[in-house]
Structure 1
Amino acid sequence: MFSTKFVPFNNILKSIPQISANTQIVFRLTTNADTLQPVNLSYATYESTTADRPSQAAPLVIMHGLFGSKSNWNSLSKVYQQKCNPQRKVIAVDARNHGDSPHSSEHTYAHLAADLKSLLNQLGVEKAAFMGHSMGGRAVIYTWRINIPALMKNFNNIARFPMVNDVHYDGPVLFVAGGHSDFVQKSDYPKIQKLFPNAELTYIEGAGHWLHSEKPSEFLKITLDFLNRK
């Protein structure tokens, strides 16, 4: 699953829930845990070295999936930087416990999103386009206008994404799935629309879950078309 969205940081990630995890990485939620502590993520940037001035377009932030790393996205990141119109700076990120980022005993979507927020605050990024694969896609669409009971009911582990009924994002969002993958099915679209009323869902036939590696040309065309018309 891939998701791409545009969102101002000041409008989301405002009330981070308090989360803790035991040493076996069995995730649980408490209402009196310590405030989330982000880690300093490792990242790579791709931007023009010939332009007269930096691009004014919102940068594209990419997060890999489980067991991946930013290096998996090196070639695609270069293409996005060159072919987005207008050109965008691309920031490819290593999630905590992946690549060159620090290791931590805590690994939830709340922590992943807090890490991203911290990084982009450090970089002075107020608005961005996000792209994430699988775990990375869930991390970038995680928003915080939720309540603890709903979170406790739905947030069991990293394999699930918390669904809450009173939260939605009205901006442009694209979901891209492999035709041979069971991760996103057509029956999921009504649930997606509840969170993202303007979401688009498209499939790449012949691709599985790692569609960006299996069908890179098709994936690039679909995502570039979306980015360039938003």
Structure 2
Amino acid sequence: MKLHYQSIGQGSPLVILHGLFGSADNWRGIAKALSSERQVISVDLRNHGRSFHHPQQTFDLMAEDLLNLLDDLSLPTIDLLGHSLGGKTAMQFTQNFINRVNRLIVVDIAPRQYIDEHSVIFKALLALDLSKFSSRTEVSEALSGTLPDPLVRQFLLLNLQKNDQEFNWRINLQALFCSYPGLLQSVEQNDAVEVPALFISGEKSNYVTDNDWQQIKSFYPNAEHVVIDNAGHWVHADQPDIFIEQVNRFLADD
């Protein structure tokens, strides 16, 4: 069971981990922009994108998945960037395999436990009988009562694919829903992580609070925190130019 990934550019490797309901495809524009000076490897986490489906999904398992990929690619060390669920996975990987990470970038997430904000999405998607729909527009309209934000629906429907004239979900919805309570839990932090770290958050997001930053600083003493104006949870999508500038600045700082 191997992770699907996309690679662009040459040089020192940067691995990107997407968030819940996402995939490497969501990061193509950012990866291309960052690839002028390095190899950028965008990964589909298990049960996402084109990666394998599995009934279990924990941070430790996803860290092991990434370790296996790095070994397959003969990459002894990497720079690692993760957003949201991918950010928690990146923190767990760094905690478990600190000798494999040169620099860590975490985007709009803290290592703490979060409240349930996605069960409504899972239930809305699982309730659909996709055999009844002939277009993405019909699926979007069916979801509009429960999920009124068109941008959220547009993002989720990136996971919709059509095989043999019938729609199905590319993500493993049932396994993700069953694993979701565990993904809300804190990252297992045992020791302080001495690697250089950059935590990027959006000014309009509430995912990283002042209290979170104090906790982050205790676990990552070499961390810096950048808040990007006029950006929400999807910082890289809301302010891509500033996001890319901050990542390049951090990775260029030797």
TM-score (norm 2): 0.64
CA shift at 1:162, angstroms? 2.7
Residue 158 (1) aligns with residue 183 (2):
yes
Distance across 2 between alignment mates of 1:162 and 1:175: 15
Match of 2:219 in 1: 195
The answer to whether 1:91 aligns with 2:32 is no
Distance 1:135 1:202 in 2: 19
Matches within 5 A, 1:190-229: 190-229=214-253
Note the aligned Cα RMSD (angstroms). Answer: 1.8
Q: Does 1:144 align with 2:96?
A: yes
Q: Is the 8 A contact 2:205 2:232 kept in 1?
A: yes
Higher relative CO (CA 8 A, sep ≥ 6), structure 1 or 2?
A: 1
Q: In structure 1, give the amino acid aligned to 2:39.
A: K
**Equivalences, count:** 171
Percent of residue pairs bearing the same amino acid type: 35
Contact 2:88–2:187, Cα closer than 8 Å, also in 1:
no
Higher Cα Rg, which structure: 2
Partner residue of 2:77 out of 116, 127, 136: 127
1:45 corresponding residue in structure 2: 7
Q: Residue in 2 aligned with 1:17? A: none
For the Cα contact (< 8 Å) 2:59–2:187, is it kept in 1? Answer: no
Q: Which residue of 2 aligns with 1:70?
A: 24
Structure with the bigger percentage of helix: 2
SS of the equivalent of 1:157 reads helix
How many Å apart are 1:163 and its aligned residue? 4.6
Match of 2:118 in 1: none
Q: Secondary structure at the match of 2:25?
A: helix
SS in 1 for 2:78: strand
Structure 1 length as normaliser, TM-score? 0.71
What CA distance in whole angstroms lies between the structure 2 residues aligned with 1:94 and 1:107? 13
Unaligned runs of 5+ in 1: 1-38, 49-54, 146-153
Measured in 1, the distance between the counterparts of 2:242 and 2:84 equals 18
In the aligned structure 2, how far is the partner of 1:108 from the partner of 1:181? 25
Gaps of 5+ in 2: 98-112, 115-180
